[in-house]
Amino acid sequence: MQRINALTIAGTDPSGGAGIQADLKTFSALGAYGCSVITALVAQNTCGVQSVYRIEPDFVAAQLDSVFSDVRIDTTKIGMLAETDIVEAVAERLQRHHVRNVVLDTVMLAKSGDPLLSPSAIETLRVRLLPQVSLITPNLPEAAALLDAPHARTEQEMLAQGRALLAMGCEAVLMKGGHLEDAQSPDWLFTREGEQRFSAPRVNTKNTHGTGCTLSAALAAFTAPASLLGRDGKRGEGMAFGGAGAGGHAGSGEGHWSGTSFPRVVVVYCLQTRRQER
């Protein structure tokens, strides 16, 4: 069985809980070999974002060329893209290198509320990147921004927005319902084949730093071709729901998510993908 080579395209987190660092830890936890392309150097920690240094788009493109010209990339996760020109550079290189199995975490705000994507970049993300990706993983504020619509306040509104996002051209949408104010925290998966609801009791925890990064990186690792995963992805079946509850504190602010405990939705999406490939 060949090793999975997974690429993350994202910003950094020197505190280790989010961004490139969280993605690479997640890839390693799932047995994948991680490669990385950095879009922004972010001075952040568990308390917030202090400063952002955006990488020149040409250098982002050069990093992508370096990876794709040398390494067989089986799956790609995209996180923080920061600005319009970087979104365009990534979209162009994905197209040029015929990249498949791409998970886009539509990062717009840090957990602290600090902006990680310029408002002007959202339209470019919508038009240039969404049609090229296998899966997007927006939370409710991100979905609203992509649709230029009000924030969904009910599960029915969440369903309508998930269907609208799927119509934009991506292969699948995982809508995360953590911003709803219900006792349960529902997520919805939308694909061309149908829709599936996932629900679990809301976890009362501050260990949320890097949750979206870790989830999308795990989904990327699991969406590698079935021949590379082996056993039709069943190695993921034993992973427990509750990554947030299993997290810990490395700093004085919000804790990080456990890098070895993944939500049930990751496993189910993996198994659905395997079935579709067969």
Active-site positions?
A: 176, 208, 210-213
Q: Select from 95, 98, 179, 106 the least CA-distant residue to 136.
A: 106
Q: Taken in order 225, 228, 234, 236, is the CA torsion positive or negative?
A: negative
Q: Select from 253, 212, 235 the least CA-distant residue to 32.
A: 235
Q: Spell out the residues 6+ positions from residue 67 whose beta carbon is closer than 8 angstroms to its own.
A: 7, 35, 37, 73
Tokens describing residue 178: 């953590």
CA distance 174 to 114: 23
Cα 210 to chain centroid distance, Å, stands at: 10
Match 């939705």 to its residue by tokens.
265
CA distance 269 to 19: 22
